[in-house]
A and B are shown apart, each in its own frame.
Chain A
Amino acid sequence: MRQVALNTHISGTFNVELENLRNSVLTMGGEVEQQMVDTLYAIKHNHAAIAEKVVLNDLKINSMEIQIDEECLRIIAKRHPTASDLRLIMTISKAITDIERMGDEIERIAKLVTRNKLPSSDTIKSSMVKIGEQVIDMMRGTFDAFARQDESAALEVYRQDNQIDSEYKRLITYTTSEMEKITEDMQDWLDVLWALRSLERIGDRCKNVCEYVVYLTRGTDVRHTSLESIHQKIEDLT
């Protein structure tokens, strides 16, 4: 495993630029994570004001994406990064798209809370909180893996997604069975499905970012492959 050393360029400005870029990604990640935490709190306590704040905050995340993207463009134009630097910039450029999407998914969930449309089923709520906490865990792991450029951590996070997926499937089954029983508030229940789907999507986005981390450190593209073949590819390389 090779770390991309950010601060060893002859050009000091380039070092600073790359460091700033990486930190801004982490800032953005931290921001999204906080959004998720706030959203879960809002779900748990039916706190519309907090959910409102989350929805507003998403604009900030969008602006961050644009700024980071511009900075990537600027660095490519001015510094002509190569090899690990180029992979880092490309990784960041792609990762922020995924992170921004996570933000969008969170916004979607938060919007449900603001409308106060969640069914008053405690089972659903606690299940959502549970899966949400798993997602937060995964996000944390992802950003941590990115920050440390740690591919094994990334693979660990990658594996977590399976749990979320199975939980998601379980909840979907539960929700559909609930929906069969209940006829009113059908729209609310559909929204629950959407929210669950969003949570699952966030997990998938995390998976994508983890794939980028592996690409960053290994230079191997592991997208669209199974976990086993990712392991295989990494073993081939080491």
Chain B
Amino acid sequence: MLKLFKHNIQPVSELSSAQTAVEVNALNLWFGDKHVLKDITMRIPKNKVTALIGQSGCGKSTLINCFNRLNDLYDGCQYKGEVIIDGKNINSKKTNVSRLRAKVGMVFQRPNPFPMSIYENVCYGLKLQGVRERRNLDDAVESALKQAALWDEVKDRLFEPAMTLSGGQQQRLVIARALSLKPEVLLLDEPTSALDPLTTLFIEELMESLKKQCTIVIVTHNMQQAARVSDYTAFFHQGKLVEYADSDTLFTMPEKKQTEDYITGRYG
């Protein structure tokens, strides 16, 4: 029979290990006495956009902070379980956190360029990794800015302070900064909540083009955004993974009533 539309989205249950970028196994996390993540098990597919949705405090941001061990910065944070990236459990003691964070880039809610020039901002991570040669840095800066669709706007003023850029440009700069390290996974923690709708769309379009190179995990409060950009969506509630499915299914025929209530705006 004739197929008019091609959507080759695999159901979550059929994802193989080879197609998985981040595998989370029975992950539990506590802040002090507070049990923030409860027994999370999920496979995040490679080269796809996966959205994590849920109410504030449901643990979705904490979960992506587990992917680059950023939770280590907080006092009283304890975790149990496995997060496997590139075949290695990053929660093991042997993990080189610095190298892990270079491999798993992160972009935050508010654009946070460093108070330096645009060029220096993009170089920051590379210099930390010990890249010193000017030519390598130049090339890396150019390609990162091109990937972040910012090159044409800033190529003539690379050495101006990053703070002179607009909000959307700053966020793209921050994305370029993360991309300069050629990450395998890019974590976006509400990357557009401080931006206007149009700029938001540009950033979303950027994600679409970036997923060719890396796996994207986005935390968002904006359900429409999750629907627009993501291939897969996971819904969290009070530290538990309630439903995890491809976005087409989740936003048209969610399995659980809790999910349905949340995405249709019926939440208590």
Contact = CB atoms under 8 A, between A and B. Distances in A.
A and B touch in the complex (CB under 8 A): yes
A233 B119 CA distance: 58
Interface residues of A, number: 20
Contacts of B3: 67
Interface string A78-113: 111000000000000000000000000000000000
Interface string B1-45: 111110100000000000000000000000000000000000000
Given A78-B228, A78-B251, A80-B227, A13 B4 contact: no
Interface string B223-244: 0100110000000000000000
A10 B205 contact: yes
B5 A78 contact: no
B228 A11 contact: yes
B205 A80 contact: no
* A20, A71, A74: most-surrounded residue (chain B CB, <10 A): A74
Interface residues of B, number: 19
Nearest to A27: B4
Q: DSSP class of A's interface residues: helix, strand, loop or mixed?
A: helix
A77 interface: yes
A34 interface: no
B198 interface: yes
B172 to A, nearest CB: 14
Given A10-B198, A10-B201, A13-B208, A77 B227 contact: yes
A68 B205 CA distance: 25
B252 interface: yes
A127 interface: no
A181 to B, nearest CB: 47
B259 to A, nearest CB: 13
A73 interface: yes
B245 to A, nearest CB: 13
A74 B4 contact: no
Contact of A79 (B4, B198, B228): B228
Given A11-B205, A11-B208, A78-B228, A20 B198 contact: no
B248 interface: yes
Contacts of A12: 205, 208
Interface string B184-212: 00000000000000100110110010000
Interface in A13-38: 13-14, 20, 24, 27
Nearest to B250: A77
11 contacts: A10-B201, A10-B205, A11-B204, A20-B4, A73-B252, A74-B7, A74-B252, A78-B228, A78-B251, A79-B228, A80-B228
Given A12-B205, A67-B4, A74-B252, 19 more contacts: A10-B204, A10-B205, A20-B5, A24-B4, A24-B5, A60-B2, A64-B2, A67-B3, A68-B4, A73-B252, A74-B7, A77-B227, A77-B251, A77-B252, A78-B227, A78-B228, A78-B247, A78-B248, A79-B228
Interface of A: 10-14, 20, 24, 27, 60, 63-64, 67-68, 71, 73-74, 77-80
